[in-house]
Amino acid sequence: MIRLNMHEAKTHLSRYVAELKEGETIILCRRNKPVAEIRPLPPERKARRPIGLCRGQFTIPESFFDPLPDDFIDAFENGPVFPDE
């Protein structure tokens, strides 16, 4: 973890970001109080993710495809109804 005050960050931020390793963070501070965090993004995938990675590990019951109850759909469209209204 690298802690930088704002002045140091403004002056040398590109150098610190270039040295940033995976799993490390830069903590930006204002008057020695942490206010923000900078961390590297994960690397982009080189290959597409294969379809069906969890095939055979679970099943979807037929009831999953049943229509939702009318009161449930009405709550989505008009907001919830509370009994004491």
pLDDT tens digits, 50-80: 888 888 898 889 999 999 999 889 888 888 7
Gap between the Cα atoms of 17 and 41, Å rounded: 11
Task: Give the rounded percent of residues in the chain with a pLDDT score beyond 90.
Answer: 40
| 19-50 per-position pLDDT tens digit | 888 788 999 999 999 999 999 888 888 888 88
Adjacent-strand bridge partners of 33: 30
Q: Which residue has the tokens 């009318």?
A: 70
Range list of β-strands (E), the chain: 2-5, 26-30, 33-38
Tell me if residue 26 falls in helix, strand or coil: strand
Gap between the Cα atoms of 38 and 73, Å rounded: 42
Model confidence pTM above 0.75: no
Per-residue pLDDT, 35: 96
